[in-house]
Structure 1
Amino acid sequence: MNMLLNPNQREKLDPTDDKLFYDQPRFVTHVDTGFIQQLTDLYRDRLKPNSRIFDMMSSWVSHLPDDVQFEHIEGHGLNAAELARNPRLNHYFVQNLNLDPKFPLPDQSFDAVLNTVSVQYVQYPEAIFTEIHRVLKPGGIVIISFSNRMFYQKAIAAWRDGSERDRVELVKNYFKAVPGFSAPEVIIKQSQIPPVFQMLGMGGGDPFYAVIASRVE
């Protein structure tokens, strides 16, 4: 495991315990419907039915396709009320990964690990991606999706200070820092709103980014 970030790059503007920040449930979606549809379509295309899924840093909704059934969906997050509301989760656990990055999960126990619009809050990605590799079965897939939204005070400096393309490279490097992942694949889909309408003041949709890799050993 290579150490990618220096201490300054791991810092947050709000250094208080993340569990305090997420203490109150937020039953909202943090990206727009266009982003969510693209993510659900990606899951439908890449996730195998009847497989085992780990939805890391999840919430009250997982954006998985309703028409696909899975053997088991394990959830994780920082707010038990949100996770309890998520109808797709078979089981969940609450844990602050910035304080304890070790998953309470067996080796090679999942076919896919998902992380949706949350990777920007991880302070020790080298340890987290090592754990992702550990719990994945050989050939298992990881899908890290994100946009340009964030809780700014809780995102790490390396994320806050970079451009959107820099953030794509950052996530690619998270995978590259851990031996045993395939070369990362990147999917980028910008707003579907035509530029002429954006010039008239109509906001564009949330950009969609996904970085995908598989366990190869």
Structure 2
Amino acid sequence: MPDAAEELPELRPEYFAREDESDDALFYREPRLVTHLDDAATAALTDFYGRIIPPGSQVLDLMSSWVSHLPEELQLGPVAGLGMNRVELEENPRLTERVVQDLNREPALPWPDATFHAVICSLSVQYLTRPAEVFAEVARVLVPGGIVAVAYSNRCFPTKAVAVWRALDDRDHAELIALYLAHARGFGQPRAFNLSPGPGADPLYCVIAQREPVPA
């Protein structure tokens, strides 16, 4: 994981080229009410979120869809979802607020500072073309001590995944996410977890980091 005290590797524009550079709004126009993990990996992610998100937390589901992977039994405060398709967001029963927004066009989040106790980004980080800007906004909307959790597998829409993601393997993906967070500033040292259920199931990983205190 990158050390915040070291000079960070540059995030070059060519890293974020995509095979399909057409308007993302066109790609996500039709709802996709499908799952992107098998049942075992889905259960593993839900269990992990249940262990790292305290009850009563106010949560932002970033790049959300019709499933938030939050445990049904976990009692939470408001859960906001930001995604690309209104129908998918409306189908998500955990959300109490729904925002349709393309983060590649507009990375600024529409919430005040220190709104959320946890921000989750499930299985979508590979599509961000401006990740440092987005995660800087995540740091802004998190309370000090709040957590960001970025989960990923080996599945994606390859034409919309950025070049650097397609070029790396699962271990290096964790390092890349940590680099995004380091460029964003405001986070403590990230930790990577292998949540893969086992042979025959989808691989699953998650990188988490804690929002550092805001300097006085």
TM range (shorter): over 0.9
The separation in 2 between residues aligned to 1:74 and 1:169, in whole angstroms, is: 27
What secondary structure sits across from 1:169 in the alignment? helix
Conserved? CA contact 1:4–1:126, under 8 Å:
no
Structure 1 residue 143 and structure 2 residue 149: aligned? yes
Corresponding residue for residue 38 of structure 2? 32
- Aligned with residue 208 of structure 2, among 199, 212, 217: 212
TM-score (norm 2): 0.93
Q: How does 1:53-68 map to 2 (within 5 A)?
A: 53-68=59-74
Q: How does 1:19-168 map to 2 (within 5 A)?
A: 19-168=25-174
Identity over the aligned pairs, expressed in percent? 44
Q: 1:60-116 deviations in whole A, cap 9, x for unaligned? A: 111100111111000010000000010000011001000110011111000000000
Any gaps of 5 or more consecutive residues in structure 1?
194-203
Conserved? CA contact 1:3–1:126, under 8 Å:
no
Deviation at residue 179 of structure 1 after TM alignment: 2.4
Conserved? CA contact 1:44–1:65, under 8 Å:
yes
Corresponding residue for residue 196 of structure 1? none
Deviation at residue 6 of structure 1 after TM alignment: 1.0
What secondary structure sits across from 1:43 in the alignment? helix
Conserved? CA contact 1:58–1:83, under 8 Å:
yes
| Residue identity opposite 1:34 in structure 2 | A
| Residue identity opposite 2:168 in structure 1 | G
Q: Give runs of ≥4 in structure 1 deviating > 3 Å.
A: 1-4
- Aligned with residue 6 of structure 1, among 3, 12, 28: 12
Deviation at residue 178 of structure 1 after TM alignment: 2.5
Count of residues in Structure 1 that have an aligned counterpart in Structure 2: 207
| Residue identity opposite 1:209 in structure 2 | Y
The separation in 2 between residues aligned to 1:143 and 1:4, in whole angstroms, is: 23
Deviation at residue 190 of structure 1 after TM alignment: 3.7
TM-score (norm 1): 0.92
CA RMSD of aligned residues (A): 1.4
What secondary structure sits across from 1:154 in the alignment? coil
The separation in 2 between residues aligned to 1:166 and 1:80, in whole angstroms, is: 33
Residues 206 and 4 of structure 1: CA distance in aligned 2, closer, same or farther (over 3 Å): farther
The separation in 2 between residues aligned to 1:124 and 1:171, in whole angstroms, is: 12
Corresponding residue for residue 186 of structure 1? 192
